Amino acid sequence: MDGTDLTVPFAQKDKAKALGARWDGAARQWFVPVGLSLEPFQSWLPAGAPVSVSSGSTPSDSRDVAPVQGTSLSQLLMGVAKLVHEGFRQGVWTRVEVVNVTAKQGNVYLELSERDQEGRVLAQARGTIWARTAENILPQFQEATGAMLAPGIKLLVFARPVFKAQYGFSLDITSIDPSYTVGDLEAQKRKIRARLKEEELFERNRRLPSPWDFTNVLVVAPEGGAGLGDFMAEAHRLHRHSVCHFVYVHSRFQGEGAAAEIVMALQGGIEQAAAPLDAVILIRGGGAVNDLAWLNDYELARFICVCPVPVLTGIGHERDRTLLDEVAHRSYDTPSKVIADIEQCVARRAAQAHTSFEQVAARIRETLQNKAAECVALDGQIRAAAVETVGAARDSSISLMANVRVESISRVRQAQGFVRQGMHEVRASAPVHVHIAKRAATAEMATVQQLARSSVVAVRRETGTLLPAVLDSIGGIAARTTHDSAGLVRSVIERTQMSVRLHMQGATSRMREIAGQGPEKTLTRGFAMVTSDAGKSVTSAAQAKAAGTFSIGFKDGSLKARLRPDDPADKGDRNGN
- The confidence score (pLDDT) of residue 142 equals 83
Q: Is 101 exposed, middle or buried (0-12, 13-18, 19+ CB in 10 A)?
A: middle
Which region among 37-41, 112-116, 452-456, 560-564 has the lowest average model confidence (pLDDT)? 452-456
Mean pLDDT in residue range 221-247: 88
Q: Quick check: 53 pLDDT over 90?
A: no
Is 317 a residue whose pLDDT tops 70?
no
pLDDT score at 223 = 87
More confident residue, 55 or 526: 526
- Indicate the pLDDT class of residue 62, thresholds 50, 70 and 90: very low
State the pLDDT confidence band at 575, using cuts at 50, 70 and 90: very low
Query: Is the alpha carbon torsion for 215, 220, 226, 227 positive or negative?
Result: negative
Say which amino acid occupies 33.
Answer: P
**pLDDT number for residue 278:** 93
Phi-psi region of 83 (alpha: psi -120 to 50; beta: other; left: phi over 0): alpha
pLDDT digits (tens, 9 = 90+) for 400-409: 888 888 888 8
pLDDT digits (tens, 9 = 90+) for 447-495: 767 876 787 677 567 656 655 664 576 567 656 656 765 676 677 567 7
Average pLDDT of the segment spanning 129-142: 91
DSSP structural state of residue 536: -
Q: How far apart are CA 489 and CA 485, in angstroms?
A: 6
Rounded CA separation 400/408 (Å): 12
In the predicted model, is pLDDT for residue 111 greater than 90? Answer: yes
Q: What are phi and psi of 237, to 5 degrees?
A: -65, -45
Strand partners, 107: 104
Q: How many Cα atoms sit within 13 Å of 417 on the Cβ side?
A: 6
Q: Alpha-carbon Rg of the chain, whole angstroms?
A: 72
pLDDT at 121 exceeding the cut of 80: yes
Between residues 26 and 385, the one the model is more confident about: 385
The answer to whether the predicted template modeling score (pTM) of the entire model surpasses 0.85 is no
Band the pLDDT of 323: cuts 50, 70, 90. confident
Comparison of pLDDT for 405 and 195, the residue scoring more? 195
H/E run at residue 92? strand 92-104
Burial pattern 282-308, b for ≥16 Cβ within 10 A else e, equals bbbbbbbbbbbbbbbbeebbbbbbebe
Measured between alpha carbons, how far is 388 from 397 in angstroms, rounded to an integer? 14
Distances (CA, A) of 544 to 293, 414, 566: 133, 21, 14
CA distance linking residue 571 with residue 563, whole number of Å: 12
Name which residue leads in pLDDT, 18 or 326: 326
What's the pLDDT band for 508 if we cut at 50, 70, 90?
low
CB 129 within 8 A of CB 137: yes
Do 346 and 362 contact (CB within 8 A), yes or no? no
pLDDT recorded at residue 269: 92
Whether the CB-CB separation of 139 and 96 falls below 8 Å is answered with no
CA atoms of 42 and 133, how far apart (whole Å): 31
pLDDT for position 482: 61
- pLDDT of 545: 81
pLDDT > 50? residue 441:
yes
Between residues 145 and 329, which one has the greater pLDDT?
A: 329
Asked if 146 and 181 touch (Cβ cutoff 8 Å), the reply is no
How much of the chain, in percent, has pLDDT values that exceed 70? 81
Using the 8-state DSSP alphabet, how is residue 537 labeled? B
Q: Tell me the pLDDT tens digit for each residue of 367-400.
A: 999 999 999 999 999 999 999 989 888 888 888 8
* 55: helix, strand or coil: coil
pLDDT-based confidence at residue 542 (cuts at 50, 70, 90): confident
Residue 155 confidence (pLDDT) above 60: yes
> CA–CA separation, 461 vs 519, rounded Å?
76
| 116 vs 101: CA distance, rounded Å | 21
Task: Tell me if 39 sits within 8 A of 51, measured CB to CB.
Answer: yes
Q: What pLDDT, on a 0 to 100 scale, did the predictor assign at position 288?
A: 61
Contact call for residues 362 and 239 (beta carbons, < 8 A): no
Q: What is the pLDDT of residues 328-375, one digit of tens each?
A: 999 998 898 999 999 999 888 888 888 989 999 999 999 999 999 999
Q: Is the pLDDT of residue 129 over 90?
A: yes
Arithmetic mean of pLDDT, 272-292: 81
Query: Measured between alpha carbons, how far is 36 from 561 in angstroms, rounded to an integer?
Result: 183
Q: What pLDDT is recorded for position 39? A: 79
157-171 per-residue burial string, b: 16 or more CB within 10 A, e: under 16 = bbbbbbbbbeeeebb
Structural domains for the chain? 84-176 (2.40.50.140), 186-333 (3.40.50.2300), 387-516 (1.10.287), 528-574 (no CATH)
Q: State the chain's mean pLDDT as an integer.
A: 81
On the question of pLDDT at 237 being above 60, the answer is yes
pLDDT of residue 464: 63
Mean pLDDT throughout 7-29? Answer: 83
At 520, is the pLDDT very low, low, confident or very high (cuts 50, 70, 90)?
Answer: low
Residue 470's pLDDT is what? 47
Higher pLDDT, 144 or 100: 100
d(CA 269, CA 218): 7
What's the pLDDT score for residue 225?
A: 78
474 or 133: which leads in pLDDT: 133
What are φ and ψ of residue 477, in 5° steps? -65, -40
The pLDDT score that the predictor gives to residue 60 is 39
> What local confidence, expressed as pLDDT, does residue 55 receive?
41
